[in-house]
Amino acid sequence: MAQILLGSICLSNIPKSEIKKVMCKDGKERLYLNVAVIERKEKGQYGDTHFISCAPKKEERKDDQSYIIGDLKEWNPEPQTPTPEQIAAAPSMNDDDALPF
Residue pLDDT, tens place only, 13-62: 888 888 999 999 999 999 999 898 989 999 988 889 999 988 767 777 77
Domain count for the chain: 1
Within a 10 A sphere around the Cβ of 69, how many other Cβ atoms? Answer: 20
Q: Which residues pair with 9 in a beta bridge?
A: 70
Query: Is a pLDDT exceeding 90 seen at residue 63?
Result: no
Rounded to whole angstroms, the Cα distance separating 18 from 56 reads: 7
Query: Is a pLDDT exceeding 60 seen at residue 1?
Result: no
Domain limits at 35? 5-76
Residue 96 lies in a domain: no
Would you say the pTM of this structure is higher than 0.85? no
Residue 91 lies in a domain: no
Rounded to whole angstroms, the Cα distance separating 30 from 12 reads: 19
Residue 50 lies in a domain: yes
| Maximal CA-CA distance, the chain | 75
